[in-house]
Structure 1
Amino acid sequence: MGEQSISLFANNAIGTWMRILHVNNQASVGYLLSRAQRELGHVSDLLAQPNPYQRAPDHTAEGVKGIFLKLMALAPGYDLIHVHGGIGISGVGMAPLKVLRKRFFAHYHGSELRSDIQTSFHMLAERIFVSTPDLLAFSGHVGGRELIHIPNPVFVEGVEPVDWEARMAGLEGGAPLRIVHLPSVREVKGTDFVLKAVEEARERGARVELDIVENVPVADAMKRLEASDLCIDWMSPDYRIHGVVSIEAMLRAIPVICNIDRTLYPEEIPIISAPPGGLAEKLLEIDRMREELPRRGKLSREYAIRMHHPMKAARMIEEYL
């Protein structure tokens, strides 16, 4: 699938519609799903705390209590409540939704399900979605309920691939390979492994430089990502998955390295896999084979559009409406 893939999901309005309210906005998933569902013909809105680094939600409130009270006030106007993560309110606390005869979806995004906290939503939830495939193993934390993997959507429209033809001139001339790493939490992303591997690769002759991007506005982070030739994302031995940063890099045709378990994913994924202890060797290999980067980047972009377009996620959820 080439560049036309972006438009393949357009003009897909459905024949029936629902009034849907998304609550919370981890990684902008609530916002993206609500907008894609509008394209499908639904009334779909977002309730979330204000965040200067995200698109503005339709309804805002401050703090856990504020979100809960606003949700109770808004709920009568919607048919389905789709809660992302947890809002600090137990399933018992959400019981008024049942009294109001509202349908309810729970959507877990990671730590709350792995750590078995704020998961009592399953007592009310008609369906339970998860954002990464490793979370499918935690059914026991929600009473043995079925978990459904919905790949995280990302903003696709207007995001262009990097110009590999232009940048290969410098790389083939011996310019350093620019590596980027964007840790939200260093311990979770395995940043220490990244630092150690890059240092070792340099000592062994690799022409690489590393940019650690953290605690900056999203727009600035994306600019630094787009300036890179290679992205190292999750390198922790505890989480063998990729994150939203990987998707953002792939969408821009930037190859990605993760310590990934390929068997978790439904189709072949173009992410380069390396364990923490083998990352330095993998960087040396990539440095020696720079001419492969454009091809890997092209495959990565095609995969990101095919698997992480907001309309794909919305259509997967459509099956359960």
Structure 2
Amino acid sequence: MREPKKIKILHCPTMVGGNPQGLSKAEKSMGLDSSSLVLQKTFYSYAADRVLFDNNCSFIEREFLRWVEIFCVLKKNDVIHYNFGQSLAPNIIPNIRSDQKPWKVWLYNNLYARWVEFLDLKLARLLGKVVTVTYQGDDARQGDYCKQHYPVHFCHDVDETYYSLKTDIEKRRRIKIFDRYANFIYAVNPDLLNVLPERARFIPYASVDPRDWSPVPIQSTSEDSLLHIVHAPSHRDVKGTKYVLQAFDRLQKEGIKFRYTLVEGLSNQDARKVYETADLLIDQLLAGYYGALAVELMALGKPVICYMRDSDLLNMPDDMRQEIPIIKADPATIYDVLKEIIASRRSELQSIGVRGRRYVEKWHDPQKIAEIMRADVMTVFSKRGVK
């Protein structure tokens, strides 16, 4: 089917995990007119085509820029891919942070955000745009569901402000709004399909282009070399870092030789230099699925340890699930798994790394994922008689 000649695609409004930017880059390489827009940069600073807010913007300046941009987006684009369960319009603030004044939050919520929230989403459908949304984690994940269904999960380790009944209810409300207005709903983590509408679909991470990540051979596979283990927590409680450190401490007290690096507070470029020297990555021990970081390390040909929740993996395609090359561990088994690898399984690490690289090429290639999403979008255009 021939593409509409002037179809314009926009990914917005965040750069969470680099996933929207990865998709946009892949679409451009396929000859599509695609771009990515973020409201503001994050520490990780993935490459977006446009960043709307400057850090020095006042509230009035920021909101003026927001609404001018929304008008331009709705006028110029045919397809709008929202990500992280957010639209470009302001969101109600469900929980007051310690650095926020309650009366200001009340005014913001009740005199402003409540009346315009998701207005761009609603107008997009009214104007005939094709609208999709991709959920990526805590934009959909709810504390009450996790506590009820998952004995092993970071909901049991984070403090009481991370999840609350208030934020759970707010997430459910926002999901219902997207279910009403979005043509397609995707999730990059299989557990999210347990709390999203039935029509939501799993889609792999598209943040890592294997063409940009050449494999780096593992160096420390012989018994007389020090195995280099890397752990890179963006949030220690969420990633299960304390269990990783406890296992490291126990192994070291037993005289088992290895070295490890905790990667925190580094730019993407500096972190990648560390990853290239790794022999093994410990990703996350509580969430139940691997993260985008694991995809990066697998693209480098590095083996990965992660907790994989079997019940959630049923939400993935059967072939993808059966080919997962992850070494499984959880808080109760991470010590034993590491001890076995260091003592007797080093020779397997190279082959596991090779399998990981093949897995990324097959399942996480952004161009393949963008093609799936393009096919979905084209079903809408074809029903409208657009060829």
TM-score range, shorter chain: 0.7 to 0.9
69-78 or 103-112, larger mean C-alpha shift? 69-78
Answer yes or no: is 1:172 the counterpart of 2:225: no
In 2: Cα distance, 1:174 partner to 1:232 partner: 22
Judge conservation of contact 1:106–1:122 (CA < 8 Å) in 2.
Answer: no
Residue in 2 that maps onto 1:226: 276
Gaps of 5+ in 1: 1-13
In 2: Cα distance, 1:177 partner to 1:312 partner: 34
Give 3-state SS (helix, strand or coil) of 2:45's partner: coil
In 1: Cα distance, 2:244 partner to 2:66 partner: 38
Question: Aligned Cα RMSD in Å?
Answer: 2.1
Seen in structure 2, the aligned counterparts of structure 1 residues 246 and 55 have a Cα distance that, compared at 3 Å, is closer
- Higher Cα Rg, which structure: 2
In 2: Cα distance, 1:282 partner to 1:210 partner: 15
Residue in 2 that maps onto 1:305: 361
In 2: Cα distance, 1:275 partner to 1:214 partner: 21
Residue in 2 that maps onto 1:22: 11
Report the AA paired with residue 81 of structure 2.
Answer: H
Judge conservation of contact 1:174–1:207 (CA < 8 Å) in 2.
Answer: no
149-158 or 91-100, larger mean C-alpha shift? 91-100
Residue in 1 that maps onto 2:203: 150
Seen in structure 2, the aligned counterparts of structure 1 residues 208 and 93 have a Cα distance that, compared at 3 Å, is same
Residue in 2 that maps onto 1:4: none
Report the AA paired with residue 335 of structure 2.
Answer: A
Shift, 1:222, TM fit: 0.9
Dislocated runs of 4+, deviation >6 Å? none
Judge conservation of contact 1:201–1:281 (CA < 8 Å) in 2.
Answer: no
Judge conservation of contact 1:60–1:67 (CA < 8 Å) in 2.
Answer: no
Out of 216, 240, 261, the position equivalent to 1:162 is 216
122-131 or 152-161, larger mean C-alpha shift? 152-161
Report the AA paired with residue 337 of structure 2.
Answer: K
Residue-pair matches, total: 298
Shift, 1:75, TM fit: 1.8
Residue in 2 that maps onto 1:247: 295
In 2: Cα distance, 1:39 partner to 1:158 partner: 13
TM-score (ref. length: structure 2): 0.72
Out of 159, 177, 188, the position equivalent to 2:238 is 188
Residue in 1 that maps onto 2:259: 209
84-93 or 210-219, larger mean C-alpha shift? 84-93
In 1: Cα distance, 2:126 partner to 2:199 partner: 24
Judge conservation of contact 2:223–2:346 (CA < 8 Å) in 1.
Answer: no
In 1: Cα distance, 2:67 partner to 2:333 partner: 46
Q: Deviations over 1:213-249 (max 9, x none)?
A: 011111111111111110000112xx21100111111
In 2: Cα distance, 1:43 partner to 1:128 partner: 22
Gaps of 5+ in 2: 55-61, 92-116, 143-167, 378-387
Q: Deviations over 1:10-56 (max 9, x none)?
A: xxxx7314311110221111111112122333211111134574354
Matched residues, percent identical?
A: 29
Shift, 1:309, TM fit: 0.9
TM-score (ref. length: structure 1): 0.86
